[in-house]
Chains A and B, each alone.
Chain A
Amino acid sequence: MTVHDDPNVAEEVSADFPAIDATDEDQLLPQLVAHLREHRTKLRQEWAGRIQDAGLLHAMTPQEMAAETTSVYDNYVEVLETGSVEALQRYARDLSERIIPRGVETHEVVGIVLLLRDVLARSLFEKYQRDFGLLNRVLDAYEPAANRIANTVAVSFVDERERVIRQQQDSIRELSTPVLPVRERLLILPMIGVLDSERARQLTEQLLTGIRTHRAKVVVIDITGVPDVDETVANHLVQTVDASRLMGASVIITGLSPLIAQTLVTIGVDLSKMDTIGDLQGGLEEAERLLGYTAGRDGGAGSP
């Protein structure tokens, strides 16, 4: 293949030389693109080899890599030709969507694009090495376009990653603070995971809306699933309790571990307004007592 290609190039170069020299600058890019199209297979293989040498993209199989490199190459050349980055942007976003779950890192994506840029630049050097003036002009046309492409791909990849992260954060947020009605006018709120102020704010909001919709009178907040409680979190809890009280509901906090209880006392958070009970079971029993239900076990029957 390469053997077959090479004499062709030599011929064409010698033939094209005067022609290019004579035409104006906007003829350069089409020439360049034609060159890259012509040597597509060879350059693509060279690129794939360089990727392998650099140890990038080891999360992909050789077949996948071949397919991806071909389409990246085609898109790359197309952008060089048309100068429109929208299509590439779309492609890069699509590609990122596919490869992010496979654990492909940002440096790998940027790395392969820069490798391709390098491979193509080298081939241009080789082709125009006989005429420095022309080479300079070709590179003037090539470099800005190539830089723009590298930039676009990197930005699209990072954007996509951030979108995925945001989406996951949102779903964690939604999942981790369900407000559950257990009985009429009784809600439980099992809190799981680390509380930052954003989450705490959302949690309070959800709880207050829940109180309104379920007409709750008692709320049990279970913090067994919260690994660590510091002053900020404690203050959020106090605020949540106060706000719920303003809505006419009393709050019982359950599931304070010995460690957390000691921490809270040590850092001196004012918890005098908080109603706390050891575990969720106890909390529910207390809540039912507040609501006027009779507790199941000791029953209503008069004890001797």
Chain B
Amino acid sequence: MTPGPKLVSILRQGPYLIASIHTALDDTQMERFRQDLIEQIGQHRSRGVIIDVAALDVLDSFGAHTLRTIGDVARLRGAVTVVVGIQPDVAFAIVSLGMSTGTLETALDLEEGLEYLDSRVSRGNGAGAVRSVPTQ
């Protein structure tokens, strides 16, 4: 639809989907991204979704809201969502503007996000414990 380089890429990596947002999206683009991503979760039967926002230096309230919605919808379709790479400035803005991020899971970067998904997905859904319990 939009000419020029892609604004978003959604890649499949094993049981996970990795969605990278390359540039600031307007509301329509954000909406489209949400639909695409949710559709692909079903197509690929993904168990986890990573949304990488490292390239964003601004995130408006609609963007934050959409990310939260994606998380909620993905959960209903059986996938865990984690947002990675939130920049310090963005994190501070989200908090100081009082945008609620609700149940959204976050991790430092892609690597951490993958690790988090591994701990949540492969060993059953319920036990979300990251830390290893010392063996007796």
Listed in ascending order, the chain A residues whose CB lies under 8 Å from chain B are 201, 204-205, 208-209, 211-212, 215-217, 239-240, 242-249, 289-292, 294, 300, 302
Please determine whether B107 and A248 come into contact, CB atoms closer than 8 angstroms. yes
Please pick, from B90, B92, B106, B132, the residue contacting A205 in the complex, using a CB distance under 8 A: B92
Q: Who on chain B is nearest to A300 by CB?
A: B134
B55 at the interface (CB under 8 A from A): no
B119-136 with Cβ < 8 A to chain A: 131-132, 134, 136
Given the interface pairs A246-B101, A292-B131, the reply to whether A208 lies near B88 with Cβ below 8 Å is: yes
Please pick, from B87, B95, B108, the residue contacting A249 in the complex, using a CB distance under 8 A: B108
Given the interface pairs A211-B88, A212-B88, A292-B132, the reply to whether A247 lies near B95 with Cβ below 8 Å is: no
Q: How far is the CA of A217 from the CA of B112 in the complex (A)?
A: 10
Given the interface pairs A243-B94, A290-B131, A300-B134, the reply to whether A248 lies near B88 with Cβ below 8 Å is: no
B96 at the interface (CB under 8 A from A): yes
Please determine whether A242 and B95 come into contact, CB atoms closer than 8 angstroms. yes
Please determine whether B131 and A243 come into contact, CB atoms closer than 8 angstroms. no
What are 29 A-to-B residue pairs whose CB atoms are below 8 Å? A201-B92, A205-B88, A205-B92, A208-B91, A208-B92, A209-B88, A211-B88, A212-B88, A215-B108, A217-B108, A239-B95, A240-B95, A242-B94, A242-B95, A243-B88, A243-B94, A243-B95, A244-B91, A245-B106, A246-B90, A246-B91, A247-B108, A248-B84, A248-B86, A289-B131, A290-B131, A291-B131, A300-B134, A302-B136
Report whether over half of chain A's contact residues are helix, strand or loop; otherwise say mixed. Answer: helix
Please determine whether B131 and A212 come into contact, CB atoms closer than 8 angstroms. no
Chain A residues whose C-beta falls within 8 Å of the C-beta of B101 in the assembled complex? 242, 246
Chain B 34-77, CB-CB to A under 8 Å as 1, else 0, gives 00000000000000000000000000000000000000000000
Q: Who on chain B is nearest to A295 by CB?
A: B134
Number of A-B contacts (CB under 8 A): 62
Chain B residues whose C-beta falls within 8 Å of the C-beta of A205 in the assembled complex? 88, 92
Q: B100 to nearest A CB, angstroms?
A: 9
Please determine whether A246 and B106 come into contact, CB atoms closer than 8 angstroms. yes
| 4 further contact pairs, Cβ within 8 A, besides A212-B87, A291-B131 | A201-B92, A217-B108, A247-B86, A289-B131
Please tell me the number of chain B residues within 8 Å of chain A, measured between CB atoms.
22
Q: A284 to nearest B CB, angstroms?
A: 16
Chain A residues whose C-beta falls within 8 Å of the C-beta of B107 in the assembled complex? 248
Chain A residues whose C-beta falls within 8 Å of the C-beta of B106 in the assembled complex? 245-248
Please determine whether B92 and A204 come into contact, CB atoms closer than 8 angstroms. yes
Please determine whether A243 and B108 come into contact, CB atoms closer than 8 angstroms. no
Q: B127 to nearest A CB, angstroms?
A: 16
A-B pairs, top 3 by smallest CB distance, nearest first, are: A208-B88, A248-B108, A248-B107
Q: A213 to nearest B CB, angstroms?
A: 10
Chain B residues whose C-beta falls within 8 Å of the C-beta of A240 in the assembled complex? 95
Q: A99 to nearest B CB, angstroms?
A: 42
Please determine whether B95 and A248 come into contact, CB atoms closer than 8 angstroms. no
Q: How far is the CA of A85 from the CA of B109 in the complex (A)?
A: 58
Given the interface pairs A205-B88, A289-B131, A292-B132, the reply to whether A246 lies near B95 with Cβ below 8 Å is: yes
Q: Who on chain B is nearest to A239 by CB?
A: B95
Q: How far is the CA of A240 from the CA of B89 in the complex (A)?
A: 12
Q: A185 to nearest B CB, angstroms?
A: 9
Q: A290 to nearest B CB, angstroms?
A: 6
